[in-house]
Chains A and B, each alone.
Chain A
Amino acid sequence: MSEISQLYQDMILDHNKNPRNFGALKPCTHFAEGYNPLCGDHLNVYAIMDGEVLKDVHFDGNGCAISKSSASIMTQLVKGKTKQEIKELFSTFQHLVTAPMEEEADADKLGKLIVFAGVKEFPSRIKCASLAWHTLLSALENKSNMISTE
């Protein structure tokens, strides 16, 4: 498979076209806005926490196929998980997209996230793939309303 088709796999194209958990979630307990000034990607993450558990999560906004599909897949994966589990999943994801080229991805550990293995070949797109995750974590931490990838 060429690097480019490795990046734009069917699952990514599908989530881009039909994003899951898309649209505002109001009222919600946690919210953050994510922005990538480089490309103008802009998304909102809405979360409902029940104690330490993320009961529901949605997103909206606009962005490229990589950022949109990453947000969509993320919402599917984190729903029902604890804050701690989400953080662990995020570090797994972050490692995947920034690990050295020669490092083989651990498919079992990654599950669905494996579709983003191609991102590391495209350094300018790592921020696109990570935007939703940073925004979600910021929402859960209630750090600030606006987070930027810069």
Chain B
Amino acid sequence: METFSDIKIEAATQYQKIRDDFPILKKLVYGKPLIYLDNAATTQKPLQVIKKINDYYTELNSNIHRGVHHLSEKASKEYEDSRNKVRDFINAEKSEEIIFTRGTTVAINLVVSTYGRKNISKGDEIIISTMEHHSNIVPWQMLCEEKGAILKVVPIDDQGDLILEEYVKLFNERTRFVSLVHISNSLGTINPVKELIEIAHKNQVPILIDGAQAIQHMPVDVKELDCDFYVFSAHKLYSPSGVGVLYGKEKFLEAMPPYQGGGDMIRSVTFEKTLYNDLPFKFEAGTPNIEGAIGLGAGIDYLLSVGFDFVMAQENNLLAHATQVLSAIPEVRIIGKALKKSSLISFVVGDIHPHDIGSLLDRQGIAIRTGHHCTQPLMQRFGVPATSRASFSFYNSTEEIDFLAVELKKIIHMFS
């Protein structure tokens, strides 16, 4: 029989193995061991992903989908294999529903420019929330300006949870689209997306979920959620930057006009008439980020090999520990105390500006994020110009969080 201590040893061994997968975590910063607590900005990359990119450039480099030669065929296959991995990872019905983009921002802009431009007109309404990232505010705002449409905003309570009753009330016969974040990058709030989607659908309104902060922390099943669009970035998923995913239900993607024109997205071109390519290529004009997409496949393989059981157990543990040690410091005020939270903590420390905290921690090797986190309306909601944010990955440890607390206390002393 496996005893408790066996399980503990096993977990400790797995943890050490995981640390070794990330070469950058061995780096010294100003002579101090790097403590990387800025995972909500981007995650570090494991050797498996780094090797995949290296292999691509040493073994496969070529352009995809056009060449008849060996390298192009192999690279095209790997690129499409990666698309299939994304499909399975989020449990989409078809590979055609997986569009590679440059990232979350471009994926949202794609939907705004195609679905939005086609279906939203003067006086129509779009629903977003107070806790959206600028990338899920500004593109919609631009569309509203262009079309004379109206942006409606779901408010949040003081804990940082969406107020569902208010969300329900925002729907009317002019509501044409809903675009909401799955997990807030500033507060860590995990939104009840299934319920949000159900409510949108009850009102016959399509909904996009911004999964940039969710996809790396929990299994996402787009079929079970029944969302119409789901978007995320590879670089927050232990994969390369410059690539992201737009998932869309086929019926929507089919009906949408192309986003950008160019190579790869056409079936035939004459000066009189161009016929567009099928999904997903209709939305992938030009040579894509081939190594990025292939690297994303490796990143997904890696995360699945670690397993969401381990990821979620470790990250929940880190969140609980960090909440406890930071709450124990009287000067620290945690911003965002939602019922369900992801592994990040935003906080302010007395009247010490987050940038001073960021610079001082940096010199101790601790990387956190300070500023408005591209969520200025949310900062205004909480009446702070900026916060400090520590965000954790399964490769972080409770010892690292303890060190953060010790250094914070020194900073408080220095400013007292």
Chain A residues close to B by CB (< 8 Å):
2-4, 7-8, 13, 16-17, 38-42, 62-66, 68, 122, 124-125, 128
Contacts and interface: CB of A to CB of B under 8 A. Distances in A.
A99 to B, nearest CB: 20
B414 A13 contact: yes
A124 B356 CA distance: 11
B353 interface: yes
Nearest to B355: A64
A25 B352 CA distance: 25
A2 B356 CA distance: 16
A2 B379 CA distance: 34
Interface residues of B, number: 17
Given A8-B360, A40-B385, A41-B385, 16 more contacts: A4-B359, A4-B360, A7-B359, A13-B414, A17-B415, A39-B354, A39-B355, A39-B370, A40-B386, A41-B355, A62-B385, A64-B353, A64-B354, A65-B352, A65-B353, A66-B355
A2 B355 CA distance: 19
B372 A13 contact: no
B389 to A, nearest CB: 13
Contact of A122 (B353, B359, B385): B359
A38 B353 contact: no
B356 A40 contact: no
User: Which of A16, A65, A128 neighbours the largest number of chain B CB atoms within 10 Å of its CB?
Assistant: A65
Nearest to B357: A64
B371 interface: yes
21 contacts: A2-B363, A3-B363, A4-B360, A4-B363, A7-B359, A8-B360, A13-B414, A16-B415, A38-B371, A39-B354, A39-B355, A39-B370, A62-B353, A63-B353, A64-B355, A65-B353, A65-B415, A66-B356, A124-B359, A125-B359, A128-B355
Contact of A125 (B355, B376, B414): B355
B356 A64 contact: yes
A65 B386 contact: no
Contact of B386 (A7, A8, A39, A128): A39
Contacts of A128: 355
Nearest to B384: A40
A7 B363 CA distance: 11
Nearest to B353: A64
A39 B360 contact: no
Nearest to A13: B415
Contacts of B352: 65
Contact of B372 (A16, A40, A64, A68): A40
Interface string B214-254: 00000000000000000000000000000000000000000
Contact of A40 (B360, B379, B415): B379
A16 B360 CA distance: 15
Nearest to A125: B359
Given A8-B414, A64-B353, A65-B353, A40 B359 contact: no
Closest 6 CB pairs of A and B: A64-B353, A64-B355, A40-B385, A4-B363, A65-B356, A40-B386
Contacts of B353: 39, 62-65, 68
